[in-house]
Amino acid sequence: MSIKAGVGIARGTDAYTVGANACQGALDKLGSSDPSAVLVFSSVEYDQEKMLEGVRSVSKQAILVGCSTAGEITTEGPAKHHSVAVMAIKAGGLSLFAGVGEHIVDGATEAGKAVADAVKNQAPNGKLDAFVMLPDVLVGNGADIVRGVLQGLGAHFPVVGGAAGDDFEFKKTYQYLNEKVYSGAVVGLGISGDFKMGIGVKHGWIPVGTPMRVTKSTGSVLHELDGAPAIKIYEDYFGADNLEELRTQTLAKLAITYPLGMKVAGSDELLIRDPLTVDANGSITCAAEIPEGAEVRLMIGSREEAIKVAKEAAMLAVANLKGSAPKAVLIFNCIARSKLFGERSGEEISAIQEAVGRDTPLIGFYTYGEQAPLGGEVRNIEKCNPAFHNETVVICVLAD
């Protein structure tokens, strides 16, 4: 029996009805009222509990995982308004298991390991073949959550995922497991069985200026570059006149198209780190850590390059399938990319669909960080090195 998937999306004002309609749409496309699992991605515009009740009213028994987003993506393209998107999956040769790691604020690594263990312990003999994670990174270091997951699953285990969003508010995100809504948690979906998976990971941001060395950092706080306050990398580029704006407004919003790129071993692209805030001393807090001694560059976004690499990533994912046809596509796409494209965000998704097939069921969301292997070209999934990314598109394709 082959993998089958259907995707539904709904909008409206009543959270329960929108959730129910999105799920019913997915089941209609699936052609079955009995899916193995449903993936749910929702705007925070909706009451999260009521929305999930609506989804559950239509699909009562299936495994349910999902999260709030900074924008939903389906086969139709990026949602233009607040919505709920649902993918229903009929497993075919897959076995699916789900779990949660709570209280990231008390220990991000521990929460990551907890979700990995919770999922792995449900699988016969603890055997999993792939793992999808949906963490909250507003309350803890995203890289540490990935580190914890890999402690539970193994250093080279194929992991993909996206950090939950809240419509670009950066206040509070939500994660879903079956009937329950969490916050400050990481939800995971484990996959095992007879199937093929392809992964593509690219960002397309272009380095500008000269490389700089991290001379002082603490976790995700970047204090000094080449012995000077970290904010100087932006001051030198934007000019001192704009520095006050960088300090008084959310750096994440101002520098959305100007992240930092970090050189890492084993990757043909610089690993992106989002700057979030800057303090009075010029220290920049990023979405994940940048270790001392690392070489960093200021990066600039290009719509054309971003579209090009998104299609390349999708082609790489399909190539991993070794000739099998894609049956379901998951996309974890940074909110920065949506902001870069603006009204043209559909062009990126359309470019991806040229590679995976325009009619292939597709679901995803705009994230606050992505989890996927390093390297851009994930040629050997069994030897991948998962990491926490920013401003990157991650494409995961499932096939028989």
Q: For position 243, what pLDDT does the model report?
A: 60
393 φ/ψ angles, rounded to the nearest 5 degrees: -105, 130
Q: What pLDDT digit, counting tens, does each position of 279-336 carry? A: 889 999 888 889 999 999 999 988 899 999 999 999 999 999 989 999 999 999 999 8
Q: Give mean pLDDT, residues 123-127.
A: 93
387 beta partners:
372
Q: Does the pLDDT of residue 59 top 80, yes or no?
A: yes
Q: For position 219, what pLDDT does the model report?
A: 87
Q: Residue 102 — pLDDT band, cuts 50, 70, 90?
A: very high
Q: Give mean pLDDT, residues 147-165.
A: 96
**pTM score, two decimals?**
0.94
Q: For position 302, what pLDDT does the model report?
A: 85
